[in-house]
Amino acid sequence: MAILVFVESAEGKIKKTSIEAVAYAHALGGPVTAIALGAVEKAELEALGKYGAQKVLHVADERLSQGIIQAYATVLEKALQDESADLLVLANSSLGTPVAARVATKIGASLASNVVELPKTDGGFVVKRSIYTGKAFAWVELKNQKKVIALRKNAADIKEVGSPAQVTPYSVTLGDADFATKITSSEKATGEVLLPEANIVVSGGRGMKGPEHWGILEELAKTLHAATGCSKPVSDMGWRPHHEHVGQTGVKVAPQLYIAVGISGAIQHLAGVNSSKYIVVINKDPEAPFFKAADYGIVGDAFEIIPKLTEAIKAAK
C-alpha cells in the first residue's frame, strides 16, 4: 500500500512530529512519499529520506506557508491521486487534524485521529486511539479503501533507516476558492524551545508565589534545554504569557518529561499533560492531587529544591 505523509514545517524546518509521521509510515511497510508545502529548506526535505521517505515532493508556493486548510486539502487530494496512495499519514496537531478531516471528507476516506501505535492488519485495519484527553483508548476499524491517520506526538520511534532523499518539485493549480480564508494576523510564541515541540517542559503554578520568582524555573529549563509552561491561574494573573498556559484550554503537550512545580493538579491541567511519558511533581503539599498522576514526586519547598536540582544537573553534565 502506497503511503503519503504530509510534513509540517516552521521557519523552514521540518517539525519533529512530522518526522515521527514519516517513521510511522515507514514502519507500516509500504512505499512512502513525503510532501511539504510552502517555504522549507532543501536540506530538511532531503533528510526525510533518512527516516524512511523514498520520495519527497515540495510545493514551493509561498501562499502555502500560511497554513490555509482548504488549499492544503486540495494539494493533498491531488498528491494522493498522482501517487496512487490509499493512506495519508500526518501529525495530530492544530494544523494537521483539521487538514486530515477535510481531506478525508474530500476523498471519502476513513479517518482516525490521536493514533498511538501501528495498526493491526490481520483481518482488517484496526488502529488504537487515545480518547477522553488520554484517560482511555479505543480500537477503531478503518473499513474504507482510502484511509487518513493523524498520529499523536511520541507515538513513533524516530530511527535512521536510509539515506537523504531526492526532492522533486510538485505543482498544483489552486484557485481563489482555496484561499477563501484569510489570515489577518498571527502571534508567534517566543522562547528558545517552544511548548508544542519540546521534549522536556518545566511548568510552574501559584506555588511560585509571583512572577519575580520565575528565574529559578527558567534556569532549570535552560539547563535541561526545556520549554517553560504554567498553569491557567498563573497566565490569568499575568505572571506568565498566555502562550505558556498548559492545560485543556491552553496548550496540550506530550513531552518525554513534564516537571510540574507548585501546581496542585486540577483536572483541566492534567487533561493537557497526561500524554507525557514521565511526570515529575514538586509540591510542598503532600495532598496535592497532582501526585496521583505523577511517576515521581518530591514533597518539599520548590525554592530549596529547584536550585539544588539545577546545580546537580549541571554537575552531571
User: What percent of the chain clears pLDDT 90, i.e. is strictly above it?
Assistant: 80
- The answer to whether residue 248 scores a pLDDT higher than 90 is no
**Stretch 222-229: mean pLDDT, rounded?**
95
Whether residue 163 is annotated as binding a ligand: the answer is: no
Cell of 11: 521557519
Tell me the domains of the chain and their CATH numbers. 3-179 (3.40.50.620), 195-316 (3.40.50.1220)
pLDDT score, position 187: 66
Whether residue 186 is annotated as binding a ligand: the answer is: no
pTM of the model: 0.81
- Within 8 A by CB and 6+ apart from 295, the residues are 278, 279, 280
- The answer to whether residue 301 scores a pLDDT higher than 70 is yes
- The pLDDT tens digits of the residues spanning 62-88 come to 889 888 999 999 999 999 999 999 999
Give Cα separations from 60 to 35, 37, 45, 183, 308 (angstroms). 11, 6, 12, 19, 49
C-alpha 144/C-alpha 149 separation (Å) is 12
Q: What pLDDT band is residue 168 in, cutting at 50, 70 and 90?
A: very high
Whether residue 266 is annotated as binding a ligand: the answer is: yes
pLDDT score, position 191: 59
C-alpha 295/C-alpha 279 separation (Å) is 5
Whether residue 38 is annotated as binding a ligand: the answer is: no
| Sign of the CA dihedral with 251 first, then 276, 195, and 117 last | negative
Whether residue 264 is annotated as binding a ligand: the answer is: yes
Whether residue 131 is annotated as binding a ligand: the answer is: no
Q: What pLDDT band is residue 183 in, cutting at 50, 70 and 90?
A: confident
Whether residue 283 is annotated as binding a ligand: the answer is: yes
Q: What pLDDT band is residue 222 in, cutting at 50, 70 and 90?
A: very high
Whether residue 27 is annotated as binding a ligand: the answer is: no
pLDDT score, position 208: 97
Q: Bin 58: left if φ > 0, else alpha if -120 < ψ < 50, else beta.
A: beta
Mean pLDDT of the chain: 93
pLDDT score, position 30: 86
